Amino acid sequence: MDQPAGYLHWGFILISYPNLILIGIMIVLFIAALLLPFPGHASDGRERKS
Amino acid sequence: MSSHVSDESARSWTAATRRQLERRLPWENLLPDRQPLWVGSWVYVFGVVTIAALVWVILSGTILALFGPQWWHLSRAGRFFNSLHFWSVQVFFVFMVLHLWGQYFMASWREGRAPTWMVGVVTFAVSIVAAFTGYLSQQNFDAQWIAVNAKDAVNSTGVGGFFNVLNFGQMYGLHVMLLPIGITLLVVLHIMQVRMKGVVPPLEENGKPTARQRKLNGK
C-alpha cells in the first residue's frame, strides 16, 4: 500500500491502474443500472409509489 | 384600513416569496408519495446514493473535527472514522459522476430544467474544491506533498494570493466550515428544483415514444 500505483502508458494516455479499474467499475455499474429490472416495478399504472 | 394593509402586503417581498413558493412548490410536490412510472429505474438511484454518501461524509467529518488530527492518526477508532470519511467521499464522487452521466444522456436540462442542471454543475465544482482542501487537511506527508505541488498550479491561476494551499488553517477552515455549508445548501436547492419541475420524462425517438415508453404504456 505504501508503493506508488502502477501506470498504464498507451500513446498519449497515462492513467494509474486503480483509477482505470474504478472507471471500469463505474461503466459496468452504469450499464447494469440501465439493464437490470427495478424491484416492485408495476406496468399497470402510470405512477408508482415512491 | 384593510385595503391599506392589503396594498402593503402586495408590495411586500415576504408575501411575494410566500406566493411564489405556494404556487411553485406546493406540499404535494415538496413531499410526493407518488412518482411517474419511468422513475422506476436504477439510474434514478444514483442521485439518492450521492445524497446518502454526503450524509455519511458530514457525520464522519463532524466526528473527526471534534477529536482532531492526533486522534484520527493514532487511535483505532480515529483511524476507522478517518477511513469512513475517506471512503464515503469516494462513494459520493463515484455516484455523483454516475448521476451526471445518467442525466447527461437523458438531457435532463429539457423543459425549463436548465437551472437545475447548472446548480448540479456548481455543486460538482464546489465538491472538488472541498475534496482538495480535505486532502490538504490530512496532517500527514501526503497532504504536504499535495500542497507543495499544488501551490505552483494554484499560483499560476492568480488566485494564490487569497487561496494559499500552504496555509493549513485557511484550508482546514474552508474544508470543515464554508465548503460543507455551501455544498449542503446547493444540494438542498438542487432537490427543491427537482421537486418544483418534477423528474424529467424520458427522451422520445424523433417525436415517437421510445421502446421503453411503449413497454411502460403496454403497447
Query: Ranked by mean pLDDT, which of B14-23, B43-52, B194-203 comes out on top?
Result: B43-52
Query: Could you tell me the three cell numbers for B168?
Result: 493549513
On whether the CB atoms of residues B103 and A33 are closer than 8 A, the answer is: no
Higher confidence at residue A41 or residue B127? B127
How many CA within 13 A on the CB side of residue B61?
A: 25
Q: Which residues contact B5 (CB under 8 A, 6 or more apart)?
A: none
- Write the DSSP string, B161-189: TT--TT-HHHHHHIIIIIHHHHHHHHHHH
Residue A49, helix vs strand vs coil: strand
Q: Enumerate chain A positions whose Cβ falls within 8 A of a Cβ in B.
A: 22, 26, 29-30, 32-34, 36, 38, 40-50
Residue A41, helix vs strand vs coil: coil
Return the closest-CA partner of residue B123 out of B198, B181, B172, B170.
B181
Query: Could you tell me the three cell numbers for B68?
Result: 482532531
Q: What is the pLDDT of residue B24?
A: 82
Residue of A nearest to B45 (CA): A33
A33 vs B40, B42, B216: nearest CB: B42
Task: Give the span between the Cα atoms of A7 and B74, in whole angstroms.
Answer: 31
On whether the CB atoms of residues B91 and B53 are closer than 8 A, the answer is: yes
Q: What is the pLDDT of residue B6?
A: 61
| DSSP assignment letter at A14 | E
- Over residues B147-192, the pLDDT tens digits come to 999 999 999 999 888 899 999 999 999 999 999 999 999 999 999 9
Kindly indicate whether the ipTM for this predicted assembly is greater than 0.85, answering yes or no: no
Residue of B nearest to A37 (CA): B41
- Residues on chain A touching B98 (C-beta within 8 angstroms): 26, 29-30, 33
Q: Which residues contact B177 (CB under 8 A, 6 or more apart)?
A: none
State phi, psi for B77 to the nearest 5 degrees.
-65, -40
- Write the DSSP string, chain B: -HHHHHHHHHH-HHHHHHHHHHHHS-HHHHS-SEEEGGG-SGGGHHHHHHHHHHHHHHHHHHHHHHH-HHHHHHSHHHHHHHHHHHHHHHHHHHHHHHHHHHHHHTTTTTTTTHHHHHHHHHHHHHHHHHHHHHHHTS-SHHHHHHHHHHHHHHHHHT-TTT--TT-HHHHHHIIIIIHHHHHHHHHHHHHHHHHHH-SPPPPPBTTBPPHHHHHHTT-
Min distance B200 CA to chain A CA atoms (Å) = 14
- B104 interface with A at CB cutoff 8 Å: no
Q: Which residues contact B35 (CB under 8 A, 6 or more apart)?
A: A47, A48, A49, A50, B199
Q: What is the pLDDT of residue A44?
A: 46
Q: What is the pLDDT of residue B114?
A: 93
Min distance B16 CA to chain A CA atoms (Å) = 31
- Residues on chain A touching B42 (C-beta within 8 angstroms): 32-34, 36, 38
- Over residues A17-49, the pLDDT tens digits come to 999 999 999 999 999 999 998 887 654 445 555
Identity (one letter) of the amino acid at B120?
G
Min distance A33 CA to chain B CA atoms (Å) = 5
Whether residue B43 and residue A33 make contact (CB cut-off 8 A), yes or no, is yes
Please compute the mean of the pLDDT values over residues B193-208 and round it to a whole number. 79
